[in-house]
Structure 1
Amino acid sequence: MNYLIALLLMISFAKFFGWVAEKAKCPSVVGEIIGGVILGPSFLHLIRPNDMVTILAQVGVVALMFIAGLTCDVDRLKKYFTPGIMVALLGVIFPVASIYVVCRYFQISIIESSFIGIVFAATSVSISVAVLDEMKELKSSAGVTILAAAVADDIISIVLLSVAVPVLGIGNGHGRSDALFLVLLQIVYFLFVWLCYRIIMIMRSTLEPLHINPGLLGLLFCLLLSGAAEMVKLSGVTGAFFAGLIISQTRMNKKLSVNMRALGGLAIIPIFFVSIGISMNVSSIFANINLFIILTILAIATKFIGAFIGAKVSRFDVKNASEIGAGMISRGEVGVVIAEAGLKSHFISNAHYSTLVAVIVVTTILAPIILKPIVLWKQKAEQ
């Protein structure tokens, strides 16, 4: 299909089904994902996953997390980073352990069961960010903790992925030295982020009077940190979030935030949500229906329980802990990326890969549906 017509269809379906979802009292992102499911190979077969869809989706999620960084309170993020680590740790342990046991029950090999567990360790907080931002909850203690946990969760998941290759001993890995080298590169990346922060803090009094276009500067900086993150096998959304955090410390923050919201909300961010639906093929659900149902239930329940317990240990009340638990459920693009890496490295079979993608998409659709009423319950109680 002509790329411009495909783009027209993706934006139109995103906006229409997002509007329908809002009318049905659901988060608009749910409608946008469902629009992608209808547009893709599951129903209309108009658009299939391809390089164009992948690139546009990647730009969309980077823009979304850049905005999240711009609007995040850095002091509050520091305050809640320790609870975020606790939430991330327990939110990884519960899914990995339980899903491994269930896969072994279905007589899936030890290696494949281990890697499937790692797929569901990841969290795609970008879905939750869209809902929290829509409900003016992104700067709350629970919202900031979810962001902090997402950063920690991304690092933990990538470390698990890096260690899995040499430990399990198959795939495209070349031994423990490669895993160690990758971890060292990731440490260098975080040092680079810190160095960028220090440079911008030193130069901000010089940059601001120069009337540099904040949109251009912010976009270039976001692409730099996102691209560098992916080069060391971290998620690009992590780099985008850090870029937003750093720029938020300058006076360009307010204007850039408004511009990015206008640009992202118009087309780029909805395309990301549509792409998640396009990646799903409903027929794969019925191929392994029992495994699909059990993995979906476990993916939701174990992430919620792990994050909830982590929040309670960090002394959050039940309402905030529930919001944090629901905010960590979505797997989204992060889960798909890890599953695809497992397929390419022969950790995951073709037979199970489609089922995993279906589970990831369904949990991504259900996550905001679960999160919104919990946020409303908390907000009503606070009022």
Structure 2
Amino acid sequence: MHFILELAIILIATKLAGHVSVLLKQPAVLGELVVGIVIGPALLGWIPNSDTIHLLSEVGVILLMFIAGLETDLDGLRQNARPSSAAAIGGIIFPLGFGYLAGLILGMDLAHAVFLGLILSATSVSITVQSLKEMGKLQTRESTTILGAAVLDDILVIILLAFAMSFFGESNQSTLLVIGEKVLFFASIILISWKGLPMVMSWFGKMKVSEPLLSGALILCLLFAYYADLLGVAGIIGAFIAGAAIAQTQYSKTIEHKIEPVAYGVFVPIFFVSIGLNVSFSGLNEQIWFIVAISLLAVFSKLAGSGIGAYLTGFDFHGSARVGAGMISRGEVALILAKIGLDAKLLAEEFFTPLIVVVMVTTLVTPPLLKVLFENEHTQVNTTEK
């Protein structure tokens, strides 16, 4: 029963922290992220970084991205394919290049320097999605571009990881096989979403049981996420595609209204707290300058790389900055890459924990930065009107 108490503490802490964060004119998600550090092993130690918390947090981020898919305008995604591609490519080239150079300056060999750049190239927009949702900006052109860029970023980073593991690591999978799996996933998932998913939802809608549509949507979300993970694509991408596909059906609004209380009532708060549980301050004094330098590099390389990509494809300066800011958070994608690198001996053990802190820094920076940049949008509009 001790876990029940931990769950109660998580829910109380996240809601109070989120409320305080809003009172301080910051996104609620910022307080929910910070409180994970406070109640976790880094400070108070009330909540351990257990396997149960980790599993429930995975459900939380899957549901979060599923809701983002439900609220996504597919026409907007198609219209913004060009800036999304440019933002994704720029957001990989800059962190990869500068991360590689930073690794060489720190005395790393070629393989370790490349892998450092690869970790910094990752993007996870789950925190960005929540921040934009709180601000009512999930339907803007910038947000649509960020979502499209994040999907492409995930694909490109995974392909680059396959090459890195082939050249430097101990992976038994060939690069062509890894790329083939990604092609198979996207070809098959688009076909399933187009032909199969509407039929399945219609079938669930006719069932004489309680909440058939909600159950059907959750089943599809989880299956899509599992299928994505099975073929080496992040599970959150599968969940996002499931949400975007269901958004094209007549059941979209019904499911959205029913799924949000389930997600935000329990699972999403656990996900936010779990990020803070990864932080540990022990033994970091010797690595403080590494953390500061790589954190600055991580923030500005994504901001500049994705921002320049957006600027070159039609965004003005402020819109480009919002796109760049939305791509800063590394989240669970970078954590997964860091763990892969550690296991494959492509990341030295002394750099693993500092990089976890760097990932946390990028995650904590994103919500307030987005708020400032989108508030700047209102200031510009008001100035123009006057």
Which stretch has the larger CA shift, 276-285 or 216-225?
276-285
In the alignment, which residue of structure 2 is the partner of 1:283? Answer: 282
Change (3 A) 1:100 1:205: closer
Given that residues 284 and 358 in structure 1 are in contact (C-alpha distance below 8 angstroms), is that contact kept between their aligned partners in structure 2?
no
1:306 maps to a residue whose letter is: G
1:291 deviates by 0.9
- Equivalent residues in 2 for 1:197-212, closer than 5 Å: 197-200=193-196, 203=199, 207=203, 210=206
- Equivalent residues in 2 for 1:334-353, closer than 5 Å: 334-353=333-352
- 1:206-232 Cα distance to aligned partner (Å, 9 max, x none): 548626722111100000110111112
CA distance in 2, matches of 1:246, 1:205: 11
CA distance in 1, matches of 2:138, 2:284: 33
Residue ranges of structure 1 left out of the alignment (5+ in a row):
none
1:127 deviates by 0.6
- 1:316-368 Cα distance to aligned partner (Å, 9 max, x none): 11221111011010011111111111111111121100000010011101111
1:49 deviates by 2.0
- Report the TM-score, using the length of structure 1 for normalisation: 0.95
Change (3 A) 1:287 1:260: farther
- Equivalent residues in 2 for 1:9-24, closer than 5 Å: 9-24=9-24
1:106 deviates by 1.2
Residue ranges of structure 2 left out of the alignment (5+ in a row):
none
Given that residues 311 and 324 in structure 1 are in contact (C-alpha distance below 8 angstroms), is that contact kept between their aligned partners in structure 2?
yes
Change (3 A) 1:49 1:244: same
In the alignment, which residue of structure 2 is the partner of 1:253? Answer: 252
CA distance in 2, matches of 1:374, 1:187: 36
In the alignment, which residue of structure 1 is the partner of 2:243? Answer: 244
1:149 maps to a residue whose letter is: A
In the alignment, which residue of structure 1 is the partner of 2:376? Answer: 377
In the alignment, which residue of structure 2 is the partner of 1:331? Answer: 330
In the alignment, which residue of structure 1 is the partner of 2:303? Answer: 304
Is 1:126 matched up with 2:90? no
- 1:243-293 Cα distance to aligned partner (Å, 9 max, x none): 001000101100111111111111211111111011111235423111111
2:151 maps to a residue whose letter is: V
Given that residues 120 and 335 in structure 1 are in contact (C-alpha distance below 8 angstroms), is that contact kept between their aligned partners in structure 2?
yes
What percent identity do the matched residue pairs reach?
A: 32
Change (3 A) 1:180 1:50: farther
> Paired residues, what number?
379
Change (3 A) 1:287 1:248: same
In the alignment, which residue of structure 1 is the partner of 2:77? Answer: 77
Is 1:63 matched up with 2:63? yes
Given that residues 48 and 279 in structure 1 are in contact (C-alpha distance below 8 angstroms), is that contact kept between their aligned partners in structure 2?
no
Given that residues 322 and 373 in structure 2 are in contact (C-alpha distance below 8 angstroms), is that contact kept between their aligned partners in structure 1?
yes
Given that residues 14 and 32 in structure 1 are in contact (C-alpha distance below 8 angstroms), is that contact kept between their aligned partners in structure 2?
yes
- Report the TM-score, using the length of structure 2 for normalisation: 0.94
1:154 deviates by 0.7
